Amino acid sequence: MTEIETNQRDSELFSPPSNVRGMTKLDRTAFKKTVTIPVLKVRKEIVNKLMRSLKRAALQRPGIKRVIEDPEDEESRLVMLDPYKIFTDGSFERAELSILKQLNVSPQIHKYNLELTYENFKSEEILRAVLPEGQDVTSGFSRVGHIAHLNLRDHQLPFKHLIGQVMIDKNPGITSAVNKINNIDNTYRNFQMEVLSGEENMMTKVRENGYTYEFDFSKVYWNPRLSTEHSRITELLKSGDVLFDVFAGVGPFAIPVAKKNCTVFANDLNPESHKWLLHNCKLNKVDQKVKVFNLDGKDFLQGPVREELMQQLGPLSKERKHSVHIVMNLPAKAIEFLSVFKLLLDGPPCGIELLPIVHCYSFSKDPNPAKDVQQRAGAVLGISLEACSSVHLVRNVAPNKEMLCITFRIPAAVLYKNQTLTLENQDDPPLKRQKTDKVFSEEKTQMASVTSLEMPSPSPH
Ligand SMILES: C[S@@+](CC[C@H](N)C(=O)[O-])C[C@H]1O[C@@H](n2cnc3c(N)ncnc32)[C@H](O)[C@@H]1O
Q: Distance, CA 459 to ligand 1 centroid (Å)?
A: 25
Take atom 10 of ligand 1 and give the residue whose Cα is closest: 330
Above 50 in pLDDT, residue 445? no
- Whether residue 139 has its Cβ less than 6 Å from ligand 1: no
| The predicted structure's pLDDT at residue 9 | 53
CB 150 within 8 A of CB 180: yes
pLDDT at 434: 35
Q: What is the mean pLDDT of residues 212-231?
A: 97
Average pLDDT, the chain: 88
Residue 429: pLDDT over 60: no
Q: Is the CB of 188 under 6 A from ligand 1?
A: yes
The per-residue DSSP string of 421-449 comes to: GGSS-TT-HHHHHHHHHHHHHHHHHHHHH
Closest C-alpha residue for ligand 1 atom 11: 247
Chain segment 377-427, per-residue pLDDT in tens: 999 999 999 999 999 999 999 999 999 999 999 999 999 997 654 433 333
Q: Ligand 1 within 6 A of 247 CB?
A: yes
Please say if the pLDDT value at position 37 is more than 50. yes
Overall average pLDDT of the 120-137 stretch: 90
Q: Per-residue pLDDT tens for 42-78?
A: 999 999 999 999 999 999 887 899 999 999 999 999 9
Report residue 441's pLDDT band, with 50, 70 and 90 as the boundaries.
very low
SS3 label, residue 73: strand
Pocket test for ligand 1, best of 247, 273, 292 (most atoms within 8 A of CB): 247
458/371 Cα distance (integer angstroms): 11
How many whole angstroms from 26 Cα to the centroid of ligand 1?
38
Using CA atoms, how far apart are residues 133 and 146, in angstroms rounded to an integer? 31
Pairing mode of beta strands 67-70, 110-116:
unpaired
Query: Using a 6 Å cutoff on CB, does residue 221 contact ligand 1?
Result: yes
Integer angstrom CA distances of residue 2 from 59, 60, 111: 17, 15, 27
Distance between CA atoms of residues 174 and 177, nearest Å: 8
Annotated binding-site residues for S-adenosyl-L-methionine read 230, 268-269, 296-297, 329
User: Does the beta carbon of 251 sit less than 6 angstroms from any atom of ligand 1?
Assistant: no
With 80 as the cut, is the pLDDT of residue 251 above it? yes
Is residue 361 in contact with ligand 1, taking CB distance under 6 Å?
A: no
- Write the pLDDT tens digit of every residue in 273-301: 999 999 999 999 999 999 999 999 999 99
Query: Which pTM does this prediction carry?
Result: 0.82
CA-CA distance, 396 to 401, in Å (whole number)?
6
